[in-house]
Amino acid sequence: MQFYIKPKQKNEILKTLRGLGESFLKEIEEGKNPSVEVPVRTLRNIKFDPKERKIFLGGYVSKRYFLHLGETRRFTQLAGIASLSKKLIEEDKHVSLREAFYILKRTIPGLKKNIVEEQEESNRAIEDLELVINALREQLHMNANKLGAVAGNVVIKDRGDLIDWSKLGSGGWSVPSNVEDIEFVEVNAKFVIYVEKSAVWERLHEDKVWKKLNCIIVASQGQATRGIRRLLQRINYELGLPIYVLTDFDPWGIYIYSVIKFGSIALAHISDRLAIPQAKFLGLTGDDIKKYGLEKHLIKFKEIDEKRLKQIREYEWFKHNKDWQRQFDLMEKMEAKAELEALAARGITFISEKYLPEKIKNGEFLD
């Protein structure tokens, strides 16, 4: 399976969509039951490669049929999304997942039902289509939520505008939900710091970290959006810059890192292919807490934190990793978490002027 998907040419995708329709048509004309092959996304088809340390979909596909009571609805939805996607690409328009839902939602004549009743259904159909034609939903012109900002010595081209990420004042460039079409015009940075909190991003931005360390700083709020993940992936694969992930020292922060690096484990779904196996963890560690004297600034674990820690340390990709297990042990022993903002207790600009430069210089990453 291919891991990184290059931005496809629109024509290429249009061709695939048309091909899908034609395969249905052929079966119908031959008097057969229209069918489609969808890669299986159950656990048994999710693989982890311990050497390469990546999650990927195995080779199982399941064949679905239109004339099957349990599948006819989902099959129809898949075709509906394919049809919508074709229209969008042709008209060069994008829709949000919610809009796609409303567009597909209409009554099926003769049934007291709509083609989709809940957004979950259209979302699932989009995921199905991603798998069937091996494209990202963004390439199908369906966007998730937009969130997050970026700054750094980079000039891009987007919708005809030249945008200089170093000249956007305190705000930065607002990362769109779809980054498929942006072009990197000039890149003058050595790596990327992704931080899980926009407040910390503002700290780094105010302290001109991207200028001093010659890097790009990116943030969203909490779990990285698809737009951000795709942006990071494109920078990593196309520009070859390392991605450093800066999070709190807690199970949630580490899971944010894990998703960027390995992909999400929500039952195998194309977003796993947004993974960036080369990403490195630059966030707080148990050792940092001692080193920078943050012991007084820990937040006691709640039950849910403990539970999450237990889960996360059992993930295949952490389970056999001694470094990470050591961190989990430290966390378990402390029964507490540490936030990036706690570094402010050591000085307002401590994170920018001491913590980050030192860690990066010494290569204190976790992998």
Partner 1 sequence: MTEVKEEKTLAEEMGEKIKEISIAEFFEKNKHLLGYENPTKSLLTVVKEFFDNSLDACLEARILPTIKVSIKEVKENVYRIVVEDNGPGLPPDKIPIAFGKFLVGSKFMRLRQNIGTQGIGAKGAILYAQLTTGKPAKITTYFKGKKYEIELSIDVIRNEPKVISRKEEPIEKNLHGLKVEVFVEGRYIEKGQSIPTYLKYIWITNPFTKIVYDGPNSSFTLERVVNELPKEPKEIKPHPYGVELGRLKRMVHMTKSRNVVGFLTSEFSRIGRDSALSICKIAKVDQEKKPSELTDEEIERLHKAMQSVKLMSPPTDCLSALKEEYLAESLKKEFEPEFVVAVVRKPAVYRGYPFQVQVGLAYGGKIQEITQEAILLRFANHTPLLYNQSDCAITRAVEEVDWGNYRLPRNSKGLPPAPLVILVDLISVWIPYKSEGKQAIAEYPEIIKEVKLALQEAGRKLSIYLHKKFVREHLAMRANIFEAYSEVFSEFVSDLTGKPKEYIKNKLIEIIRRGEYKDGEEKKMKEEVIEVK
Nearest to 230 by CA among 186, 190, 177, 297: 177
Quick check: 152 and 215 in contact, CB under 8 A?
A: yes
The pairing of strands 95-96 and 142-143 is parallel
Q: What is the closest distance, in whole angstroms, from the C-beta atom of residue 222 to a second copy in the complex?
A: 11
Angle at 315 between CA 119 and CA 39, to 5 degrees: 45
Respond yes or no: is residue 102 known to be catalytic.
yes
Residue 109: contacted member of partner 1, a second copy, none (CB under 5 to 8 Å, by partner type): partner 1
Q: Are 246 and 193 in contact (CB under 8 A)?
A: yes
CB of 170 to a second copy, least distance (A): 4
Name the pairing type of β-strands 191-195 and 243-246: parallel
Residue 273 CA to residue 56 CA, distance in Å, equals 7
Q: Hey, how many other C-beta atoms are within 10 angstroms of the C-beta on 250?
A: 23
Q: Contacting partner 1 (CB under 8 A), which of 13, 20, 213, 312?
A: 20
Shortest Å distance, C-beta 33 to partner 1 = 7
Residue 340: CB atoms within 10 A of its CB come to 21
Look up residue 349 and give its two tokens: 């600009």
Residue 330 lies near partner 1 (rule: CB under 8 A): no
For 293-296, the CB contacts below 8 A with 24+ separation are 293/346, 294/338, 294/342, 294/343, 294/345, 294/346, 296/345
Query: What separation in angstroms does the CA of 121 have from each of 45, 52, 75, 142?
Result: 22, 34, 11, 14
Q: Does 28 bind partner 1 (CB under 8 A)?
A: yes
Closest CB 223 distance from partner 1, rounded Å:
31
Part of the chain binding partner 1 (CB under 8 A), chosen from 65-73, 130-138, 165-173, 356-364: 65-73
- Of 4, 60, 102, 292, the catalytic one is 102
Residue 332 parent element (H or E): helix 322-334
- Residue 74 interacts with, from a second copy, partner 1, none (CB under 5-8 Å by kind): none
Residue 68 interacting partner from a second copy, partner 1, none (CB closer than 5 to 8 Å by kind): partner 1
Least distance (Å) from partner 1 to the CB of residue 361? 34
**Contact pick of 2, 11, 31, 91 for partner 1 (by CB under 8 A):** 31
Q: List Cβ neighbours of 135 (8 Å cut-off, separation of 6 or more).
A: 5, 8, 13, 16, 129
Given candidates 76, 119, 198, 349, which one binds partner 1 under the rule CB under 8 A?
76
- Among 4, 8, 53, 72, which residue sits at the site for partner 1 (rule: CB under 8 A)? 72
Among positions 90-149, residues that touch partner 1 (CB under 8 A) are 108-111, 115
Per CB under 8 A, residues contacting a second copy are 88, 91, 93-103, 105-107, 114, 143, 145-150, 156-163, 167-178, 181-182, 197-203, 206-207, 221, 296-297, 339, 341-345, 348-349
Per CB under 8 A, does 239 bind partner 1?
Answer: no
- Show which residues are catalytic: 102
Residues near partner 1 (CB under 8 A) are 17-18, 20-22, 24-25, 28-29, 31-34, 37, 40, 59-73, 75-76, 79-80, 82-83, 86-87, 108-111, 115
